[in-house]
Amino acid sequence: MTLYRAGSRWSMRLLLVGFLLQISIGRDVRALGTEFDDLLGWGVSAGQGKIRRGVLSLSRAKGQDYAEVRANLTLDLDQFPVLEVGCLRGEYGVLVADVHGLKDDPNFIAIGGPQSKGPSRFKIQEATGWTGRRNVFLALRASKSAEIDYVRFVARGDGVARAWPKPPIPRYEVRRTAGPLVIDGKLDEASWTRCEPMSANFVLVDGQVPGHPPTVAKMLWDDENLYLAVKCQDDDLYATKPERDDNLWEEDVVELFITVPNDPKYFIEFEVSPMGTLMDIFNLRAYGGVINWDCPRWKCAVSADGTVGDRTDVDRGWTVEMALPLLDCYAQPYAAGRAKELEAQWQAREVKRENDPKFQYNHRPSPGDIWRLNVYRIDCGPAHTEYQAWSPPIVLGFHVPDRFGEAVFSAETAGTR
C-alpha cells in the first residue's frame, strides 16, 4: 500500500502483487535466510519469523493460531510445477492463493498435508489445476513452530530443485543521438534504428523468467533530454483511464524510475498507458511521493498497433517514446525552478560572453557519469498480470532504488564504435 500526499488530500495506492513484501502487514520485512534471499523477499503475516544462521525460525505468538510468512510472486507453473521445502525442525504447511484482481482477503489452498523434518515436495499445479503464469501469495504456515532451511522450485522434466540466484545489477551505455528526434512513437530515426537495446527482453521481477509477452527498451541522450523507447508485444491492449495522474498501474503501463542525480534519496517516477495517459510523481521515499508534482516539459507519444480497451479482438502491441528534460530529472524542485529563472535571464541578455555558463545549475551529465534508473512494464491480461523489469527488483515492488540499473552516459553516438 502506498500513501501519497497530494496537496491537502491523501491518495491510497494499493498494489496487491508484491507490496506485502514491503509493508508485511505492519511488521518489519527482511530477506529471510540465504535461500530465501536468493528467492524472494518474505513478509511475516502471523506470529514471529526470525533468521538465525540462514535458517527461518517460525513461532506462534500468544493468542494466535499459527505463525506464517508470505511471499507474493508470479509462478510459471508450466516450467516449475513443484515446490520443494527443506525443514530442519517442527511441522508446517504450504498454502497458495491466486491474487489476480483480488479485492478481498485471499482464498488460500493447502498444498498437501502438514510436513515435518526433511525435504518435502508440493505439487502446486496438480493440487490447484492452474496452468501458465499466476500471480500468487505463497505462504509457509507453522501450527506451533518450525525451522525452514530453504524453498526451491522444481523444473518440469529434470526433477531438479533449484535455488534462484539474485541477478546482478545491469549496466547500459546510453549513447548520444545522431540528430534531432521527433517524439511521435514511430522510432524511425537513424538514432533509434542504430541504438543497442538495454537487454534482449525484460524479465519477471524475480529476475529468473523472461517476460512474456516480450519487452525491449532503448535509451539515448543529448544536451537537453534523456530519451526512452519501449516496444511492447501485446495481444490485448488494456487501458481505460484518460486523466493525468490516475492509477495507471492498475492497467497496461510502461514506467520509468530515475534516482535524482543530485540527491539520490529521492527518485522520480514516470508512467504512460497505451492511451497516452501520463503520470509523474516526485518520490520522497519508497511508496511516498508528491503525486501532484508535474514535469511540464516531458514529451511522450504512444503508437498502438491494435484497439486499446477492446478485449474481444487480437492486438499486436504498442510503442512508447519519450523525451525527459535533463534539468527536470534533478531533485529539489525549488532549485530546479531557480535554475529555470537563471536560464531565462541568460537567454534575455543582449551580450553573452564566450564560455559563459548558460545558467548556474549544471544539469548535463558528463561522459562516464552514471545515473541509477529502472524501466518497468505491467501487462494486465484477463487472467494474469505480468510484472516485468529491466533490472529485477527481486521483492516484486517497483520502488526499490537499490535494485535500479546503471545508465552510463557515453560521448559516442548511437551506431558508432
Is residue 157 predicted with pLDDT exceeding 90? Answer: no
Provide CATH code, domain 11-162.
Answer: 2.60.120
Q: What class does CATH assign to 171-413?
A: mainly beta
Residues 25, 43 contacting (CB under 8 angstroms) = yes
pTM > 0.75: yes
pLDDT tens digits along 344-366: 666 676 655 545 544 445 678 89
Residues 390, 353 contacting (CB under 8 angstroms) = no
Mean pLDDT across 27-52: 59
Parts of the chain belonging to CATH 2.60.120: 11-162
Is residue 141 predicted with pLDDT exceeding 70? Answer: yes
Is residue 40 predicted with pLDDT exceeding 60? Answer: no
Alpha helices in 268-409 (DSSP H): 333-348
Parts of the chain belonging to CATH 2.60.40.1190: 171-413
CA distances from 38 to 41, 265, 325, 394 (A): 9, 25, 37, 9
* DSSP per position, 24-64: GGGS-EE--HHHHHHH--EEEEESEEEEETTEEEEEPPTT-
Is residue 343 predicted with pLDDT exceeding 80? Answer: no
Mean pLDDT across 226-242: 96
Higher-confidence residue of 239 and 415: namely 239
The whole-angstrom separation of Cα 411 and Cα 174 is: 9
Q: In which band, very low, low, confident or very high, does the pLDDT at 389 lie, cut at 50, 70 and 90?
A: very high
Q: What is the mean pLDDT of the chain?
A: 82
Residues 267, 277 contacting (CB under 8 angstroms) = no
pLDDT score of 52: 77
Cell 505439487 locates to: 123
Provide the grid cell at 326: 535533463
Secondary structure E strands in 195-277: 203-204, 215-221, 225-233, 253-259, 267-272
Is residue 256 predicted with pLDDT exceeding 70? Answer: yes
Higher-confidence residue of 115 and 72: namely 115
Is residue 4 predicted with pLDDT exceeding 50? Answer: no
Higher-confidence residue of 113 and 342: namely 113
Q: In which band, very low, low, confident or very high, does the pLDDT at 71 lie, cut at 50, 70 and 90?
A: confident
Is residue 35 predicted with pLDDT exceeding 70? Answer: no
